Structure 1
């Protein structure tokens, strides 16, 4: 694994030179009526799974689809280039928490949890997914009201599972890349990023079951990484974090 770190970082720095075919909508928001691509069949490879939900406030902006599908398309290419993980490159999946197919996939990504809502079936599905070993990545939310909604929804499913602000000492930040600093800014709002997690039995010595990128948006950094729209250094950090999340989840 250390061998991959040495040459992997060099590739990551050269990310803008990688040619990755963009799929579908190329902006931050998909237009109304621009339906997601069909889900792909399970074949044992690591597949990017994005969770869908009914957003608070309604409207055509679905929230959960922000940065889709470019963020996952770019990330799967990076994951293939830099690690021994065998990712599914031909597409990704969009699932709800009450979909039994979710249990086939060890990692799930939730965008905009500041607008997240769930019904009783989805709550039960979320709880079962985590209890069976699933790992969640929450991303793209900022500000106190959005954090409070995220916290409320999490506590609905796990009333006794405390949210903990993580620092660089946690093994997740050394699972593949050695993340030297967690000093990042939100790509648009300038807020300082924070990283929150939750542990099995509230025991930091046990498995971390989720990571929340608060005041951050690594999906956006990955979406625009081939455009030069956002700083290359921060796009690199976003990829390093995302790779670490997957490697941690696959090894714990």
Structure 2
């Protein structure tokens, strides 16, 4: 009788152990799925000398704002990805900025076009000084397409928060009006380029640029519209 009880107890312990292993495995699988399914922004690292890496707090703050104001599942981290790497295909959304020169070689231009034509989205924000090189290099990516200015009525300006006058002006550069340009593939906006507006500076930590809080909130709201539009169109 005693041996029978011990045998049953041993079976019970084994069952508990197996259940624990399976539960732990399920938990890890769920965590892995969560990491794969949650939205992250990839900061695009490019050659040419421009400071692609500046204001690393920008994406983190934007994603936290999106987390608080939408139902989009995000991971608020700063991650960069080399344009020459296949890792770009792990991000549905790429962000690039900087003050200086950009240079894409032939392979990088083809890779970026493949990424964009297969569901990817690129947001480029001129942080002052990258306009000439960005226009030149994006032409390598899409030699058959033009950057077209988006009208104030375009859906991106109204999809979550309302921007009746188009892209907001966060920083003054050359006393020109802020503009938003796009490149379309099969009717879908695949590249958004903001010029003379610089909303991504408004995403950075307050002590970086010392922008008024209303300007920061405006920039974060506009960034939210970009993400919402990219994910739903």
**Fold equivalence (TM over 0.5):** yes
Structure 1 Cα separation of the partners of residues 181 and 100 of structure 2: 14
- Which of the residues 73, 97, 110 maps onto 1:124? 110
Segments of 5+ residues of structure 1 without an aligned counterpart are 1-40, 57-61
Structure 1 Cα separation of the partners of residues 220 and 122 of structure 2: 16
1:155-174 pair list within 5 angstroms: 155-174=139-158
CA RMSD after TM alignment: 2.2
**CA distances 1:55-107 after superposition (whole Å, capped 9, x unpaired):** 34xxxxx5101111x11111111010001111113x23211222112112111
- Which of the residues 72, 78, 85 maps onto 1:99? 85
CA shift at 1:157, angstroms?
A: 1.1
1:77 is aligned to 64
- Which of the residues 194, 203, 206 maps onto 1:213? 194
Structure 2 Cα separation of the partners of residues 113 and 51 of structure 1: 14
Q: Which has the higher contact order (CA 8 A, sep 6+)?
A: 1
1:28 is aligned to none
Question: Which has more radius of gyration?
Answer: 2
- C-alpha contact (below 8 Å) 1:55/1:63 kept by paired residues: no
**CA distances 1:84-142 after superposition (whole Å, capped 9, x unpaired):** 111113x2321122211211211100112752111222112101110111111101344
1:37-186 pair list within 5 angstroms: 43-56=36-49, 62-68=50-56, 70-89=57-76, 91-112=77-98, 114-142=100-128, 146-182=130-166, 184-185=168-169
Structure 2 Cα separation of the partners of residues 52 and 81 of structure 1: 28
Structure with bigger helix share is 2
Structure 2 Cα separation of the partners of residues 122 and 113 of structure 1: 20
Structure 2 Cα separation of the partners of residues 240 and 186 of structure 1: 12
Displaced runs of 4 or more, over 4 A: none
Do the aligned partners of residues 113 and 100 (structure 1) sit closer, same or farther apart at CA in structure 2, a change above 3 Å counting?
Answer: farther
CA shift at 1:148, angstroms?
A: 2.6
Do the aligned partners of residues 209 and 174 (structure 1) sit closer, same or farther apart at CA in structure 2, a change above 3 Å counting?
Answer: same
> What TM-score, normalized by structure 2, do the two folds share?
0.78
Structure 1 Cα separation of the partners of residues 213 and 225 of structure 2: 18
Structure 2 Cα separation of the partners of residues 98 and 163 of structure 1: 23
CA shift at 1:47, angstroms?
A: 0.8
Segments of 5+ residues of structure 2 without an aligned counterpart are 1-33
Helix, strand or coil: the match of 1:67? coil
> What TM-score, normalized by structure 1, do the two folds share?
0.72
Structure 1 Cα separation of the partners of residues 151 and 141 of structure 2: 25
